[in-house]
Chains A and B, each alone.
Chain A
């Protein structure tokens, strides 16, 4: 059995268009997490960093720079890249190292700085995360890839553009309550339907924004957490999955096999099912992604996601609140940070720091984050520790 692993501290910058450089953003979130855990950098035994496009802000090999600026240059670090899933996949590797007993205390930091490149270059850079020979190289952007998934889903399950729009409306309602969200704006179904087409059938408000931002957590052994005397949460399930890299390689375009595999592993490890989850932060890079996620994670049957959103089951006071933070859609999507940002939200929710967006009586929460169109994914389950 692996050792118990806990999250003792968490911090985030605001997500959005930020003026500071990538290292300043990264350090801000790191310091917030260190303060939140009540530790000093001297307690950190390793730095795990997730980032994708640091090269555009002239910094790769980020871990030594971060650790040096935290005053602990002797602490080893590494950087993990798995496209938009980088954060959760880094979290999994950090988790595995604490669970195996290699480390008692790790800084897990996700960071991205991309808005300075502009929309067209960002669109192009993101397309490099696809199976480029078959997808980006033939003109598909990420909105395009998810739009093709949406067209399949809509044809198979008779879902409508309004059904997609409802996901955006719900996540924006949540994001308004999140002071660190990128797009804090109430929108209507009509606003979504009338927004400019990016890649049909997806429109601007079906798509998450390009965001800068950083999120950090302190991951530690149970002993370390208990000795701190501070509130913490426990990681009770961890799963990883993979799918064919290209959409063309999937037998069914309306499901993401990596999500299903990762969720099954995480549920099995935690000894629970989807019914036991009180809320979830899922990967809603596009509205269609959230509909597919909530089905693949077992919250609803295949094809039932649109109806569940329509009936309010995924709202903050619904049967299974989805993305109380606002999700990628409203909170923002600084891709190297996103998976860790989800853990920050869970930490704040389960330790009573989520203020207005608190999900009442939540004890067990799930995070789900994937890279590209779900070629790689990770699912984690957390519980409140009394």
Chain B
């Protein structure tokens, strides 16, 4: 009963809130265009290919491969307590789009070769979309 209430809230929320709630369930939420089938992040309001704005929600496993990243030595406010971390762009499995997030515990390039696999762990109130290495 509690779960369905949460899912109802998710359905009624705006796209960014939907994205956040799905990330807390380790998922990446996408929109599938009802006209051409193009798949894009849930936060895009019109189909990037045909400009239709009717979609089916498509819930993806929040996993993917690291496309690029940085290890932040000088962190912006809100991340001073995050320790050594990477900001990562990753290709989302089963799509042709990328997402990006915060990956704690990365101290050197040898920790994270390009192509490493990551998954969505959570959406942290201070650090945003939080990833972990798989």
Look across to chain A and name the residue whose beta carbon is closest to the beta carbon of B115. Answer: A155
Q: Which residue of A136, A137, A199 is within 8 Å of B70 (Cβ)?
A: A199
Stretch at the interface among B29-37, B53-61, B77-85: B77-85
| Interface membership of A246, Cβ < 8 A | yes
Distance, CA A140 to CA B128, complexed state (A): 11
Q: Which residue of B43, B67, B127 is within 8 Å of A138 (Cβ)?
A: B127
User: Is B114 in contact with A134, judged by CB distance below 8 angstroms?
Assistant: no
Given A139-B127, A148-B70, 18 new contacts (CB under 8 A): A119-B74, A120-B76, A127-B76, A133-B16, A138-B102, A139-B78, A139-B79, A139-B128, A140-B100, A143-B74, A148-B69, A152-B68, A155-B68, A200-B70, A201-B70, A246-B100, A247-B100, A253-B67
User: Is B74 in contact with A198, judged by CB distance below 8 angstroms?
Assistant: yes
A151-B114 contact, Cβ under 8 Å, with A134-B100, A139-B128: yes
Distance, CA A355 to CA B75, complexed state (A): 40
| Interface membership of A8, Cβ < 8 A | no
| Interface membership of B73, Cβ < 8 A | yes
Distance, CA A249 to CA B102, complexed state (A): 17
Q: Which residues of A contact B68 (CB under 8 A)?
A: 148-149, 151-152, 155, 253
Distance, CA A200 to CA B68, complexed state (A): 11
User: Is A133 in contact with B43, judged by CB distance below 8 angstroms?
Assistant: yes
**Residue among A121, A148, A152 facing the most chain B CB atoms (10 A cut-off):** A148
CB distance from B129 to the nearest CB of A (A): 5
CB distance from B124 to the nearest CB of A (A): 9
| Interface membership of B9, Cβ < 8 A | no
Distance, CA A186 to CA B81, complexed state (A): 36
* Interface residues of A, count at CB 8 A: 36
Distance, CA A256 to CA B85, complexed state (A): 26
Q: Which residues of A contact B78 (CB under 8 A)?
A: 124, 139
- Give the B-binding residues of A (Cβ under 8 A): 119-121, 123-124, 127, 133-141, 143-145, 147-149, 151-152, 155, 196-202, 246-249, 253
Distance, CA A201 to CA B128, complexed state (A): 23
Q: Which residues of A contact B75 (CB under 8 A)?
A: 123, 139, 141
Q: Which residues of B contact A119 (CB under 8 A)?
A: 74
Shortest Cβ-Cβ A-B pairs, 3 listed: A147-B70, A138-B128, A140-B87
Distance, CA A134 to CA B88, complexed state (A): 10
